[in-house]
Amino acid sequence: MIKKNKDKNVSADKMGTTPMLRLILTMSLPTMFSMLTQALYNVVDSVFVSSLGQDALTSLSLAFPLQLMSIAVAVGTGVGVNSFISRRLGEKNQELANQGAANGLFLSVISWLVFLFVGLFLTKPFFSLFNPTAGVMKYGVEYTSIVLIFSMGVMIQVGIEKILQATGNMFFPMLFQLIGAVVNIILDPLFIFGIGPFPRMEVAGAAAATVIGQIAAMIFAVYVMFFKKHAVKINIKSFKPSLKIIKNIYIVGVPSIIMQSIGSVLVVSLNAILMSFSEAAVSVHGIYYKMQSFVFMPVFGLNQGLMPIIGYNFGAKNKERLHSAIRYGSIIASGIMLCGTMIFWVFPEQILTIFNANDEIMDMGIKAMRFISLSFLPAAIDIIFSTAFQAVGKGFSSMILSLLRQLVFLLPAALILSSFGVNAVWFSYPIAEVGALAVAIFLYSRINRKVFSKLQPGVPIEAL
């Protein structure tokens, strides 16, 4: 029996003993790779759709906020589950870790039901807010309805992914994302253009390829969760929702959902500002959002590796390893962002050419890529600190930081700068990130003084 328990927790225990840089790389690299693949299939969607004309490309840009919102709920809830499980494993509380996993999966199903309703009844009213052309309206409603109605794939797959990551298992989550991405990339041209026996569905075909990929990943994730051995176990027959555990999950999860959803609100608001200039401006912003994912997705993959490490060592009251994880994470994230900035400055024209950019989009897009990319380096530290706050259960501080980055600083700056022309709007991104960095340093110093510095055996985590 002792040997069995030891084998069961070996994956989690490595987070308290493995040399930190090696641990971060082994935990993060698989997820960074799979997130890059995710970024690739997001771009592939837009590249294929751009060949259908500007209406099609603009429709995806306008649809992106609702799609982002569904992913925000999936990932935000998963972050809460991840934080809960990793802290319980650090405290050696196996029963609560198991219950956290079961309640997390339950919340994933509930989340899908919410977006099923949105997809059925609220998609068309949402697009009407922008007074789009008939083509943009048609394409956008078709795409968004399909993606939201069948969002159970992404909800459940992400839920299981976060459960496994909390135990230190990064291999299977990587496979989940790879399966979804590869299936999507293969099916995209078949459904969009009607190749072979497949019907020509145009923009709706891109949505169909997306949800089929997500459902395929979900099926494999369910198989892995219930038929493979893990450091946590879900027992469906004996499961009962626990309000106490759900509340604990959402203490971190709700701020994370809000943080993720802020991106959706931001894109809607910026699209409204940019629409006052031209549809081309909206398309440029949509192209930027697709391409910046190649820079941000590896950092988000790094975060997914960091979060259980930080959460575990916080639960184990090992402040030296906790600080080491944050320090290495900041260095790696900054390196990634610096490379991204250089690419956006040197190759903006080549990037825009991929999307069949016309002269107006090309001229505007080159300036946008260069100006916005100035925000990447300060964003690296903002994101790592935000992840650290989530991992130790300080979701409110993380939420405040994201609100400042993407709403409080960025939107007012964009509104003010819009009076100087569309190209001035792009500077709102670096302004917001630099302002948020100052706040991030303040919040981290405060939490370090009041919480991290007091970590020691015998002091309950709840008392900090």
The three state secondary structure string of the chain is: CHHHHHHHCHHHHHHHCCCHHHHHHHHHHHHHHHHHHHHHHHHHHHHHHHCCCHHHHHHHHHHHHHHHHHHHHHHHHHHHHHHHHHHHHHCCCHHHHHHHHHHHHHHHHHHHHHHHHHHHHCHHHHHHCCCCCHHHHHHHHHHHHHHHHCCHHHHHHHHHHHHHHHCCCCHHHHHHHHHHHHHHHHHHHHHHHCCCCCCCCCHHHHHHHHHHHHHHHHHHHHHHHHHCCCCCCCCCCCCCCCHHHHHHHHHHHHHHHHHHHHHHHHHHHHHHHHHCCCHHHHHHHHHHHHHHHHHHHHHHHHHHHHHHHHHHHHHCCCHHHHHHHHHHHHHHHHHHHHHHHHHHHHCHHHHHHCCCCCHHHHHHHHHHHHHHHHHHHHHHHHHHHHHHHHHCCCHHHHHHHHHHHHHHCHHHHHHHHHHHCHHHHCCHHHHHHHHHHHHHHHHHHHHHHHCHHHCCCCCCHHHC
- Is residue 375 a contact partner of residue 381, using CB atoms and an 8 Å limit? no
Q: Any idea which residue has 């109605």 for tokens?
A: 149
- Determine the pLDDT at residue 455: 67
Mean pLDDT estimate for the chain = 87
- Determine the pLDDT at residue 5: 45
Reported confidence tier of residue 6, pLDDT bands at 50, 70, 90: very low
Structural domain includes residue 2: no
**In this structure, what are the phi and psi dihedrals at residue 451, rounded to the nearest 5 degrees?**
-125, -65
Residues of the chain with pLDDT > 70: what percent?
94
Rounded CA-CA distance 185/46 in Å is 11
- Determine the pLDDT at residue 54: 76
Higher local confidence (pLDDT), 62 or 428 = 428
Structural domain includes residue 1: no
Rounded CA-CA distance 246/84 in Å is 10
- Determine the pLDDT at residue 462: 54
**For residue range 374-397, what is the model confidence (pLDDT) as tens digits?**
999 999 999 999 888 888 877 788
Highest-confidence segment of 34-43, 63-72, 124-133, 184-193: 184-193
Is a pLDDT exceeding 70 seen at residue 463? Answer: no
Rounded CA-CA distance 2/148 in Å is 46
Is a pLDDT exceeding 80 seen at residue 199? Answer: yes
Is a pLDDT exceeding 80 seen at residue 37? Answer: no
- Determine the pLDDT at residue 2: 38
The three state secondary structure string of 397-411 is: HHHHHHHHHHHHCHH
Highest-confidence segment of 72-81, 151-160, 384-393: 151-160
Structural domain includes residue 97: yes
Is a pLDDT exceeding 60 seen at residue 1? Answer: no
- Is residue 185 a contact partner of residue 246, using CB atoms and an 8 Å limit? no
Q: At what angle do helices 94-121 and 152-166 cross, to 10 degrees?
A: 160
Sequence-distant (≥ 6) Cβ neighbours of residue 119 within 8 angstroms: 144, 145, 146, 147, 148, 149, 151
Structural domain includes residue 4: no
Is a pLDDT exceeding 80 seen at residue 445? Answer: yes
Rounded CA-CA distance 255/330 in Å is 22
**For residue range 102-132, what is the model confidence (pLDDT) as tens digits?**
999 999 999 999 999 999 999 999 999 888 8
For residue 463, what are the CA distances in angstroms to 187, 298, 454? 52, 35, 10
Tell me how many domains the chain contains.
1
Higher local confidence (pLDDT), 93 or 50 = 93
* Stretch 437-461: mean pLDDT: 79
Here the tokens at position 114 are 């919410």
**For residue range 156-186, what is the model confidence (pLDDT) as tens digits?**
999 999 999 888 887 898 899 889 988 998 9
Is a pLDDT exceeding 60 seen at residue 7? Answer: no
Rounded CA-CA distance 212/150 in Å is 9
Of the listed ranges 19-28, 202-211, 232-241, 259-268, the least confidently predicted one is 259-268
Reported confidence tier of residue 459, pLDDT bands at 50, 70, 90: low
Rounded CA-CA distance 444/401 in Å is 11
**For residue range 215-254, what is the model confidence (pLDDT) as tens digits?**
999 999 999 999 998 889 998 888 999 999 999 999 888 8
**For residue range 265-292, what is the model confidence (pLDDT) as tens digits?**
888 888 889 988 888 888 898 889 888 8
Is a pLDDT exceeding 60 seen at residue 8? Answer: no
- Determine the pLDDT at residue 108: 96
Structural domain includes residue 418: yes
Higher local confidence (pLDDT), 260 or 360 = 360
- Determine the pLDDT at residue 3: 42
Structural domain includes residue 271: yes
Structural domain including 308 reads 10-463
Rounded CA-CA distance 384/404 in Å is 15
* Stretch 404-430: mean pLDDT: 91
Nearest to 263 by CA among 66, 56, 416, 114: 66
- Is residue 233 a contact partner of residue 97, using CB atoms and an 8 Å limit? no
Residue 455: strand, helix, or coil: coil
Sequence-distant (≥ 6) Cβ neighbours of residue 285 within 8 angstroms: 61, 267, 270, 271, 274, 368
Is a pLDDT exceeding 60 seen at residue 464? Answer: no
- Is residue 101 a contact partner of residue 85, using CB atoms and an 8 Å limit? yes
Structural domain includes residue 402: yes
